[in-house]
Structure 1
Amino acid sequence: MTTTGFNPLEHRGIPLDRQVRNWRELDVDPIDPDHSDPYTRCRIITMNGIEVEALMFSHQFARNCLDMDVKRQLAEVRYIEQQQQKAVNWLLPGVSSALETTIAYEQVAVDLTAWVARMEPDPYLKQAYQFGVLEDFDHLYRYANLYEMVQRRKAERIVDDLTEVIPGRPTKYHHRHPADNVREPYDRSTAAPISKLHALTIMSTEQQTMNFYMNVGPEYMEPIARQLYQEIGLIEEEHVTHYESLVDPGETWWERLVNHEYNECYLYYSFMQTESDRRIKAIWELHLNMELEHLHLACELMRAHDGREPEEVLAPELPAPVTFEPNKEYLRELLDTQIDLTTLGTGYVQEAHERFEAMQDALMGGELPPSERVIDLHREQFGTDYRHSTDGEHPVPSLRQQHTTS
């Protein structure tokens, strides 16, 4: 994999005591949803998830730390991270509905996870991303059908022609026994640095999606909307378990701290390189210069409290930039080869098994789940389901598992 030649460890950013922004600086203008690059919105959603994870991790670290000086430094950096999260998330337009933002969240999940799967060097980790992306792909399809029913608009106005809206692995098959969502972690002593960054990135974005659905779902009046958010919100819980279990729990708090800060540098640098909106690019550059200092402070803590140099766990320079780009052919290939997969223990199988069937029976109770009913309701209203395919083909998901829930 080609690299950028940029080593965050060699650069100091803005001094921490100069990073606090006033109200005018925090009052960012949102993007125009009708004229912005859809991938600009995807980058905003991604960085919001990354910042939220940084905040939650810092809080958990503080709750498990006895050293008052460390707790004070975490609090100081965390306040800046809160300002960064506010600036980033407030770039989303208030004129967009929660459902429109939801569709954008799923576009992030599809194209970011597909890109990570393509770039991941570890076969086991690659399979984890390939497995998950086919489920997010189907969530996009279900929400797109809900969107046309509720708001009488088509999802293609949000995702453009960059991401297809067609069925993935059917959502009703995503409900697995919780034990079968736990994967084997990478080995922190042998895993490639990029693998650690990939796992942290996808875990963070899926966690934010889970949080978002938990909060916006009950705001809808339409019963089918409330029910669909409930169902997919439960699957996002599975996804967070799936991805967080990839991270080696043997990493020390200090190691995890520098990994978080390094990953923020990596993503802000990546999006600064690829952003099409000059105004948003300037925000990515500003935040990168803040994160460089956060990383420097985290490295000092690691040296003082962990007795190790950060170079022992971090890449010597940033990997190739994370890129939002169409993944249509890659996703079609996965649809052809992996749509029938489910999980068993820490592995994957093509045939349904006893725990899977028991979970399906417990949830379905002989009834169709909301993810199926939303398609039926759409067909009743419009005569067909909503799909947006850029080549005119509408692949039909495999039905090999139908016996498990019919």
Structure 2
Amino acid sequence: MGFNPLDHKGIPVADQLRNWRELDVEPVDPDLADPYTKCRIIVMNGIEVESILFSHQFHRNCPDMALKHALAQTRYIEQQQQKVVNWLLPGSSSALETTISYEQVAIDLTAWLARQEPDPYLRQAYEFGVLEDFDHLYRYANLYEMIQHRKAERIVDSLTEVMPGRPTRYHHRHPIDNVREPYNAKTTDPRSKLHSLTLVAAEQQTMNFYMNVGPQYMEPIARQLYQEIAMVEEEHVTHYGSLLDPTETWFERLVLHEYNECWLYWSFMEQESDRRVKAIWELHLNQELGQLHEAIELMRKHEGRDPVEMLPAELDPPMTFEPNKAYLRELLDTQIDLTTLGTGFVKDAHERFQAMQDALLGGELPASDAVIAQHEEMFGGSDYRMETDGEHPRPELRQSPLDQVAVAPGAAS
């Protein structure tokens, strides 16, 4: 059953302020919480952070004082929402345990969005990215067992498999090859806009998290692995961010941010298993509905346009966290050798890719490979993997077309 935010008024922005006691929420239990509850928390933290950063940029580029006031009032409420959401994460979890949950988010969020995406080019962009996040989970899971002597399955449960994806050493591309073609805001399906905004926010929050927690570790291999994967997250934020249509106005993007937040809070409220967290999703949905209607009025006032024409008639289906094992294994079988050239995707290596590999790696073993080698040395020649269906997982690539320099004929440049 669909949901149309425009049919619900929500709580007026002027009535949304909460006191400190209401913001001081109890975190979820790291051992008993549904892994997907933690995933939903991480996603909504990223969504709120993106909305806040967007509002600050709008504010800094806005000469209208009344509009600045409206943005500041809503932004303060969203800061409160972000604090509530992010403070649901348990402080007793280590940064590495939270990292593994971040990668579970990246895998099952991106896979679900790719499965639902109506635009073939956008779907390919999501499928390309998810195989890299899949490999990041594998690398961090091996680091986790080395440092904390625990297995990642206690965090991801049996919902997300842990095995090699596209090897992280192949993720280091020339920056211009991370820039994709944007969707056309006038013709693209509104769902595609929501999908892109969601992935930009989630990957941006992951990038920011790794940028800050990486140097907190003492172990050299941990510091090196976070540094390497944090640079890949820069590539991912560029990859997904370039999909957004730059011709969308500030007010269009403001409305889309609020609409997207309504979609996600509604989605997560519908499926949340933790009653206390579900109540937070419901409250925040009602707040976002009020913020959406205010954004719509701002667009009508300042642009003389009715944003209803660019919004879907209803939100359906709800974004769902669920296992994507069969889908991911299919991608592993068909797309593991892909890289990018210009705005396109190719299976052959090319000169820019090889030059970037040489410049960064210099013939040395990257941290993403070193962590597996050290794990094998520590645990008698085996890496850590977790599969759930009894089949032997696809082994990590040892030889790949990406090892060869060959410009793909006809590829975009």
- Does the pair score TM above 0.5? yes
Aligned residue for 2:403?
403
**Residue 316 of structure 1: which of 313, 328, 339 is its match?**
313
Secondary structure of the structure 2 residue equivalent to 1:226: helix
Q: Deviations over 1:88-136 (max 9, x none)?
A: 0000001100000000000000000000000000000000000000000
1:401 is aligned with what amino acid? P
Amino acid of the residue matched to residue 369 of structure 2? Answer: E
Structure 2 CA distance, aligned partners of 1:120 and 1:402? Answer: 28
Identify the match of residue 352 of structure 1 among 332, 339, 349.
Answer: 349
> 1:231 & 1:143 partners in 2: Cα distance?
12
Quote how far apart the aligned CAs of 1:14 are.
1.1
Counterpart position of 2:409: none
Q: Using the alignment, how far apart are the partners of 2:3 and 2:120 within structure 1?
A: 27
The one-letter code matched in structure 2 to 1:19 is Q
Q: Specify the alignment match of 1:394 in structure 2.
A: 393
TM-score (norm 1): 0.98
Does residue 336 (structure 1) correspond to residue 336 (structure 2)? The answer is: no
The one of 383, 386, 397 aligned to 1:385? 383
Q: Give me the whole-angstrom Cα distance separating, in 2, the residues matched to 1:186 and 1:371.
A: 33
* Pair 1:184-2:184 in alignment: no
User: Secondary structure at the residue paired with 2:254?
Assistant: helix
**Pairing 1:94-109 to 2, within 5 Å after superposition:** 94-109=91-106
CA distance in 1, matches of 2:377, 2:23: 46
User: Would the aligned equivalents of 2:131 and 2:331 in 1 still touch at CA under 8 Å?
Assistant: yes
Query: In 2, Cα distance between the equivalents of 1:362 and 1:391?
Result: 40
User: Structure 2 CA distance, aligned partners of 1:24 and 1:17?
Assistant: 19
Inter-CA distance 402–194: structure 2 relative to 1 (3 Å threshold): closer
Give 2:82's aligned residue. Answer: 85
User: Are the counterparts in 1 of residues 339 and 349 from structure 2 also a CA contact under 8 Å?
Assistant: yes
Equivalent position to 1:296, from 259, 281, 293? 293
| Distance (whole Å) between structure 2 residues aligned to residue 177 and residue 300 of structure 1 | 43
d(CA) in 2 for partners of 1:98 and 1:314? 38
Of 393-402 and 126-135, deviating more is 393-402
Matched, 1:262 2:259: yes
8 Å contact 2:348–2:404 — kept in the other structure? Answer: no
Structure 1 segments of 4 or more deviating over 4 A?
none
Corresponding residue number in structure 2 for 1:237: 234
Unaligned runs of 5+ in 2: 406-413
Q: Does 1:24 align with 2:35?
A: no
In structure 2, give the amino acid aligned to 1:120.
E
In 2, the alpha carbon distance for the partners of 1:108 and 1:404 equals: 33
SS of 1:242 mapped into structure 2: helix
Distance in 2 separating the partners of 1:68 and 1:328: 51
- Give the drift of 1:5: 3.0
Q: Distance in 1 between matches of 2:115 and 2:38?
A: 22
Q: Per-residue displacement from partner, 1:144-187 (whole Å, max 9, x unpaired)?
A: 00000000000000000000000000000000000000000000
Quote the residue 2:154 is aligned against: 157
Return the alpha-carbon distance in structure 2 between the equivalents of residues 216 and 314 of structure 1: 38
What code does the residue aligned with 1:113 have?
Answer: T
Q: State the superposition RMSD in angstroms.
A: 0.9
Unpaired stretches in structure 1, ≥5 consecutive residues: none
Q: How does 1:266-277 map to 2 (within 5 A)?
A: 266-277=263-274
Partner secondary structure for residue 28 of structure 1: coil
Alignment partner of 1:134 out of 111, 131, 136? 131
Describe the SS at the equivalent of 2:345.
strand
- SS for the counterpart of 2:145 is helix
Q: Choose from 313, 321, 324 the match for 1:327.
A: 324
Letter in 2 for 1:203: V
Shift in Å, 1:318: 1.1
Is 1:371 equivalent to 2:335 in the alignment? no
2:183–2:244 contact (8 Å) kept in structure 1: yes
| CA shift for structure 1 position 16 | 1.6
Secondary structure of 2:340's partner?
strand
The answer to whether the 8 A contact 2:12-2:290 is kept is yes
Deviation of 1:402 after TM superposition, in Å, equals 6.0
Indicate if the aligned counterparts of 1:339 and 1:397 stay in contact, CA closer than 8 A: no
Q: What's the secondary structure of 1:348's corresponding residue?
A: strand
Cα offset, 1:394, TM superposition: 2.1
Contact persistence 1:62–1:74 (CA under 8 A): yes
Q: Report the secondary structure of 2:349's partner residue.
A: coil
Equivalent residue for 1:219, pick from 216, 219, 230? 216
CA contact (8 A) 1:265 1:291 kept: yes
Counterpart among 125, 138, 143 of residue 140 in structure 2 = 143
The letter for the 1-side match of 2:400 is: R
Alpha-carbon offset, residue 312 of structure 1: 1.5
Question: What amino acid maps onto 1:353 in structure 2?
Answer: H
For 1:152 and 1:402, the matched residues in 2 are separated by: 34
What secondary structure sits across from 1:191 in the alignment? coil
